[in-house]
């Protein structure tokens, strides 16, 4: 029984991985935006940023853009449940003799893995654009990427469990995902930001992901890596539970 559940989780994880590597156009397509942000903002704003005494902007920006690409990729793979429902595959999993939690967890694991891979790809690209982290920081950096990926894949799953179709997707992108990105300190330092933005950022899960990546890769972080790590882990656990609970009530 136990091994069956684990194997089912593995099978569902494998499905996500296969789909990810098969859609080469999607991988390349989703790299366009982070590259554009790194080049246009990184080079464009570097002189202004360093003139105001904040140091090299690319060093500051790269962790934010890595977090962004994970955020988008993770939310999207969670939201894919809507596609699965519309095109029927979801029913195949819902009549299978495995628990809803197993299905949700396998999917989330797969989505989080592909989102993390996306983050690692952007990290590699940022090296060519001028980002210079320590080699020793790569492993803790990847741990943060995985945490961010889990938080937002679970969030995507929770949202998708409630949405009937893709019509609501634009709404989610513009009123949830974009604000999460722009108000996380990914693009600008939060310690000099207006109080209102600071306040919003305090409740934004991505803030701790971006800050955590900065804490391990650079020296520009607000909190310690441990603080960020613990906050993110707690949020990940809460979101996976909420996602599972929402998925439990999903209708075929």
Residue 62, classified by CB atoms within 10 Å of its CB into exposed (0-12), middle (13-18) or buried (19+), is buried
Extract the tokens encoding 93. Answer: 């999993």
Identify the CA nearest to 214 among candidates 129, 145, 112, 161.
Answer: 145
The stretch among 50-58, 94-102, 131-139, 212-220 that binds another protein (CB under 8 A) is: 94-102
17/133 Cα distance (integer angstroms): 28
Of 10-39, binders to another protein (CB under 8 A) are 10-12, 15, 18-19, 22-23, 26
- For the bound state, the minimum distance from the C-beta of residue 110 to another protein, rounded and expressed in Å, comes to 12
Contacts with another protein by CB under 8 A: the residue count is 30
- Comparing CB distances to another protein, the nearer of 26 and 223 is 26
- Comparing CB distances to another protein, the nearer of 88 and 179 is 88
- For the bound state, the minimum distance from the C-beta of residue 16 to another protein, rounded and expressed in Å, comes to 10
Of 100-129, binders to another protein (CB under 8 A) are none
Of 50-89, binders to another protein (CB under 8 A) are 83, 86-89
The contacts of residue 132 (CB under 8 Å, 6+ apart) are: 59
Burial string for 95-113 (b: 16+ CB within 10 Å, else e) reads: eeebeebbbbbbbbbbbbb
31/138 Cα distance (integer angstroms): 20
Residue 134 binds another protein, judged by CB under 8 A? no
- Contacts to another protein by CB under 8 A: 4, 7-8, 10-12, 15, 18-19, 22-23, 26, 83, 86-89, 91-98, 164-166, 251-252
């Amino acid at each position: 029984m136990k091994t069956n559940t684990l194997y089912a989780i593995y099978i569902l994880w494998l499905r996500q991985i296969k789909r990810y590597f098969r859609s080469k156009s999607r991988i390349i397509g989703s790299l366009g935006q982070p590259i554009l942000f790194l080049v246009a903002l990184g080079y464009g704003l570097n002189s202004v940023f360093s003139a105001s005494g904040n140091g090299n902007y690319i060093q500051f920006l790269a962790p934010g853009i890595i977090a962004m690409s994970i955020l988008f990729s993770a939310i999207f793979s969670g939201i894919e449940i809507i596609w699965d429902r519309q095109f029927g595959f979801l029913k195949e999993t819902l009549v299978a003799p495995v628990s809803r939690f197993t299905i949700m967890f396998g999917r989330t694991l797969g989505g989080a893995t592909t989102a993390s891979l996306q983050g690692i790809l952007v990290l590699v690209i940022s090296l060519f654009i001028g980002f210079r982290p320590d080699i020793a920081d790569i492993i803790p950096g990847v741990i943060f990427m995985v945490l961010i990926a889990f938080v937002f894949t679970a969030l995507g799953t929770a949202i998708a469990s409630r949405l009937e179709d893709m019509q609501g997707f634009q709404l989610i992108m513009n009123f949830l995902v974009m604000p999460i990105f722009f108000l996380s300190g990914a693009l600008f330092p939060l310690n000099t930001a207006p109080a209102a933005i600071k306040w919003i950022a305090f409740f934004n899960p991505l803030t701790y992901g971006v800050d955590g990546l900065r804490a391990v890769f650079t020296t520009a972080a607000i909190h310690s890596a441990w603080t960020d790590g613990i906050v993110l882990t707690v949020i990940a656990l809460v979101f996976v539970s909420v996602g599972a609970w929402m998925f439990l009530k999903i209708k075929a």
